[in-house]
Structure 1
Amino acid sequence: MDEDMNMDAPPGLRPPARLRGAAAPASKHRRSKSKTTASLLPLALLFPVVVVVAVVMNTLILTLAPCDCTGSQGTYISSATKNIESICAHIFESGKLQNQEDLRVGLVAFRDHPPQDHTYITKNFGFSSDISQVHKHLSTLYASGGGDGPEAVTAALAEALNMDWREYASKMVVLIADAPPHGIGEYGDGFDDGSPDGNDPLQLARLMASRGITLFFVACEPALSGYSYATDFYQAITSITSGLMLPLLTADLLTHAIVGSVLENLDMERLVREVGHAVAQRILGNNESVDDVARELHEKLLLRNESTKKVVIESIYKDSEEAKHNVAVFSQAPSLAEARPLLKRVHGTRFTDKYLQARHALSRSSYASYGSYSTPHSPVRAPASPKAPPASPPRKVVTDFAAFGAPKTSSVFGTAVASSPFSLAGGKAAFGGMRVGAAKSPFDEDDEDEDDSRQKVELREDSISLDQARRIAMQSAWRSARA
């Protein structure tokens, strides 16, 4: 079992100063004891379910943790139940696992606090290596209840945090939801002051980050964007834990989103374990900014031709200064109570013109790939041209310091790292609708053999991105701050 959650411990509640954008305390970084076995990677899925994956050496442990079982979640519960064995098979076939016991799956179902719901708040099924047993647990769940919109997400996060994590695991949580937690300022919240259990989700996210738990969030759209601040909140807590937010418009893509998230996180975890100590020393010991260290790390990894897997779903969200402001507020505020007075309301739709045009067109056809969704009528404009991907930093040699200086043929630390072939045991065919490879945007307009009206999920293997380098830097700093 991981350490008991201590909500009174200031270091666990507030982000390290360098991670808040302020000057860092000159605390000495302590290197943790080396392990003879590789760590586990836990993943948790919160929305009908939470999936937790852990990898030890070539071992992967998957845990399905909190699963939103309120009335709106029927299709996602059904998808998780139907595909749990397929999800585990895809992960196993990735080449990371050797034995059945290498894959552990846990499940935590959640609904809401009374009087909003009188059935249960959370239901923790724990970990198991018997996937058929997990399937049985999922089969007992059904969508019902839910009264005020926000749900017991905070209670589910606390359950996931305090599950029986292996000490040296690589930890990952996948939260799936279409509603926010209590206390972020939504209209009609039955618990406007926050979760009745006294926990704060921002503090829980930072505790997850300090324990090496990465949070991936599957946003069930378009329902989630009907709330004022939900998307901004989830963007913030995934950023705190160095994870990603993946907007889905159909439960049919849930399997692809989970498997893609796990495989990307495995690559990220490998690099964190390789460079994390040196990266954390630069940030916590030398008072350098996360962004500066991430840029240099990115350049060094590009110079050695480092590639990683990336799960790619085109964003359906429109850029907004108010939304960016809210994400920053949630990311930096010590608690929801301190964040709420600073939030700004986003006016108008949160969706891109491209998504709205596709939805409008599909609503008049029999192939409504995006599902039913009603919005106020507005003029339909031509979709904006896809933005060109940001240019990578020039591949020049930067200051050669011990943390990153190494021959191109070796690791960043000068330790050789064996590269494992990327395989999904059959590639594209084995992965169904998920396209694998260094491909174009999942919504490329010149892809004539694809139906561009359907949402797509890609798993790419390409040069490491600056965003991934920044996530590695953040993870490294958080884990070392706890040491």
Structure 2
Amino acid sequence: MDYGSHSGGGGGVYSMFGAQASQLLAEQASAEPSGSNQYDWDAQQAPASNELDLVFIMDATGSMGSYIDSATKNIETICDNIIQSEKLSTTGALRVGLVSFRDHPPQDYTYVTKNFGFTSSIAEMKENLAGLYASGGGDGPEAVTAALKCTLDLDWRPSATRLAVLITDAPPHGIGEYGDGFPKGSPDGSDPLVLVRQMAQMGISLFMVACEPGLSSYSNAADFYQGIVRVTSGLLVPLTTASLLTHVIIAAAGEAMALNRLHTEVGDAVVERLKSLSLEAASSERPPAVSDLMDEVARDLHQRLLLRNENTKQLVVESIYRDSDEARQNIEVWSTAPDVETAKPHIQKVYGSRLSDKWLSTRQTSSSLTSHAPFPRSRAGGGSSSSSTSSTWNNVSSTSSASNPSPSSRKVVSNFSTFSAGTGMSMSGSPSFGSPQRFGGTSTSAAFSAGSPEGNKSPAFYGARGQQGGSRMGVRDDDDDDDDDDDKEEEDRPLPVAVETDEGALEFAGEDGSKLRLKQGAISLDQARRLAMSSAYRGGLA
């Protein structure tokens, strides 16, 4: 792909180094020691602050009722577990914020965004969340860009780890979706790719909770969001049930704080290494692509961190997306283009479902059953039953995937501290767990909830309150959150219970059978790559 004046070497791949950074590199060229490859990856700056600013960017349109309910009912659990597992003992060390969004008029006349700001009061945050209700929305795309702009304008603390969690099943305006009421982009003139680069420069890590299968009913949304989280060194986590949302947020906080600590320690060394490689490449007859330079730094950094036995918290989720050359190309475009208008001509059409055949097959099978077990059941010969197709797992903090452990090796964990506590603890082998936690009024020693309250309706194909999740293709499921009986049913449902795998990880199953794992172990190559990218942006090289 070629972005004109923004193209770099190695086939015209867009350079992450902007004009200002290029000038800085040129000025420092004479000062760099010739042939120097040694960098002190172990150099430690001032200790990382043990503070966290966490903001929820919440879609409040008609299809999002179950996610709003989950965040509201479990906000105390989320905050308590973050404070415990990250040892945030100082008063005010954790601040939580909320930005909710719907759409611009005439698509929606209620509001575009509501910015509640940060608070150290969990009770205040719960009150803010409780004031939200899912309604409206107009066309498919929503005011995501306006919400990102509000997020940037929050009073982020310079010393804190900065984490934003975007929860939505819709794309922003202007990325090429059919029926977009604002095909030229957000009416306020903001560009989401510009905004996420500003977030990266500010050290704000963006985690995206993709509410599926609604999001994948769009042509470009999944690729777009995978691209922008790459810019901000965050992750995209596809969820088909709101019951796993609490664990995702706790895990995101653990990862973000671990990587921010490492940035404080080695960020300067990463920037110096990138500068040196860039200068060497500029003088080469056939300069490599900037992405290749970043990969080289990430591999070097990964090996150095492994040598110092660096452990990080990691989130592992089931893969539900269908891989294709076109999708990979699109993700690369969205993550490297300077703005949406530059990116759109290079976006390729992806034909067929955006969801994997295995995921569709599994959900089609489960939708024909009146109930299901939370995990696959073994049968003679080591195979799995027809209702539990073998899952493909993606470690979203690793470039490699792990095989699904044998069900016989799993056991319900009745005594644990969510996502481990402290950086010195390893969850491989025989982990030592802390005091039991209580979720939704039920101890973690309770058994998994059997089956879905929807009976033979598959939760994966139904949005909040039983409306069809695929309604994004045609009729929207607006104003579907007025059933008091359903609210009572949601309130009485406990969160998923942890099950320990033979790998020492903690595994959770959502009410629709989807699973995620939380573990602590050696830092992954993907995490090292995200750390290098974050250091480059925060160091002024983008």
Q: Give the corresponding residue for 1:191.
A: 182
2:497 maps to a residue whose letter is: G
Residue 284 of structure 1 aligns to a residue whose secondary structure is helix
Residue 308 of structure 1 aligns to a residue whose secondary structure is strand
Q: Give the corresponding residue for 2:516.
A: 457
Partners of 2:344 and 2:524 lie apart in 1 by: 33
Change (3 A) 1:419 1:342: closer
Partners of 1:110 and 1:385 lie apart in 2 by: 34
Equivalent of 1:433 in 494, 497, 501: 497
Change (3 A) 1:144 1:36: same
Partners of 1:426 and 1:432 lie apart in 2 by: 17
Residue 109 of structure 1 aligns to a residue whose secondary structure is strand
Larger Cα Rg: Structure 1 or Structure 2? 2
After TM superposition, the structure 1 stretch with the greater mean CA deviation from structure 2, 213-222 or 343-352, is 343-352
Please tell me whether the aligned partners of residues 280 and 480 of structure 1 are also in contact (alpha carbons under 8 angstroms).
Answer: yes
1:426 maps to a residue whose letter is: S
2:253 maps to a residue whose letter is: V
- Equivalent positions of 1:236-251 (< 5 A) are 236-251=227-242
Identity of paired residues, percent? Answer: 49
Please tell me whether the aligned partners of residues 224 and 231 of structure 1 are also in contact (alpha carbons under 8 angstroms).
Answer: yes
2:245 maps to 1:254: yes
Change (3 A) 1:36 1:252: same
Change (3 A) 1:149 1:434: farther
2:335 maps to 1:331: yes
Partners of 1:16 and 1:279 lie apart in 2 by: 20
Please tell me whether the aligned partners of residues 357 and 382 of structure 1 are also in contact (alpha carbons under 8 angstroms).
Answer: no
Change (3 A) 1:36 1:386: closer
Equivalent of 1:87 in 50, 56, 78: 78
2:364 maps to a residue whose letter is: H
Change (3 A) 1:101 1:424: farther
- Equivalent positions of 1:21-100 (< 5 A) are 26-27=25-26, 57-64=49-56, 66-100=57-91
**Cα distance, 1:421 vs structure 2:** 3.7
Please tell me whether the aligned partners of residues 150 and 189 of structure 1 are also in contact (alpha carbons under 8 angstroms).
Answer: yes
Partners of 1:385 and 1:306 lie apart in 2 by: 29
**Cα distance, 1:342 vs structure 2:** 1.2
Partners of 1:162 and 1:83 lie apart in 2 by: 26
Change (3 A) 1:384 1:344: farther
Please tell me whether the aligned partners of residues 435 and 458 of structure 1 are also in contact (alpha carbons under 8 angstroms).
Answer: no
2:200 maps to a residue whose letter is: A
Q: Give the corresponding residue for 1:229.
A: 220
2:540 maps to a residue whose letter is: A
Change (3 A) 1:442 1:322: farther
1:303 maps to a residue whose letter is: L
**Cα distance, 1:253 vs structure 2:** 0.5
Partners of 1:114 and 1:103 lie apart in 2 by: 35
Q: Give the corresponding residue for 1:467.
A: 526
Residue 167 of structure 1 aligns to a residue whose secondary structure is coil
Q: Give the corresponding residue for 2:298.
A: 294
Residue 150 of structure 1 aligns to a residue whose secondary structure is coil
Please tell me whether the aligned partners of residues 104 and 128 of structure 1 are also in contact (alpha carbons under 8 angstroms).
Answer: yes
2:341 maps to 1:350: no
Q: Give the corresponding residue for 2:199.
A: 208
Equivalent of 1:107 in 98, 109, 112: 98
Please tell me whether the aligned partners of residues 315 and 516 of structure 2 are also in contact (alpha carbons under 8 angstroms).
Answer: yes
2:288 maps to 1:284: no
1:284 maps to a residue whose letter is: K
Partners of 2:230 and 2:296 lie apart in 1 by: 17
1:305 maps to a residue whose letter is: N
TM-score, normalised with respect to structure 2? 0.69
Q: Deviations over 1:133-175 (max 9, x none)?
A: 1111111110111111000000000000110111222211110
Q: CA RMSD in A?
A: 3.5
Change (3 A) 1:160 1:107: same
Partners of 1:388 and 1:38 lie apart in 2 by: 32
2:141 maps to 1:141: no
**Cα distance, 1:97 vs structure 2:** 0.6
Residue 520 of structure 2 aligns to a residue whose secondary structure is strand
Higher relative contact order (CA 8 A, sep 6+): 2
Partners of 2:153 and 2:328 lie apart in 1 by: 31
After TM superposition, the structure 1 stretch with the greater mean CA deviation from structure 2, 151-160 or 456-465, is 456-465
Q: Give the corresponding residue for 2:469.
A: none
Q: Deviations over 1:159-214 (max 9, x none)?
A: 00110111222211110110000000000000000000110000001000011111
Uncovered stretches (5+) of structure 2, i.e. residues with no partner: 1-5, 7-12, 32-42, 282-292, 375-385, 401-421, 427-431, 438-443, 446-494
**Cα distance, 1:268 vs structure 2:** 1.1
Equivalent of 1:269 in 253, 260, 283: 260
Q: Give the corresponding residue for 1:363.
A: 367
Change (3 A) 1:255 1:113: same
**Cα distance, 1:24 vs structure 2:** 5.5
Q: Deviations over 1:42-72 (max 9, x none)?
A: xxxxxxxxxxxxxxx33333333x3211111
Please tell me whether the aligned partners of residues 311 and 520 of structure 2 are also in contact (alpha carbons under 8 angstroms).
Answer: yes
Q: Give the corresponding residue for 1:477.
A: 536
2:149 maps to 1:158: yes
Aligned length: 408
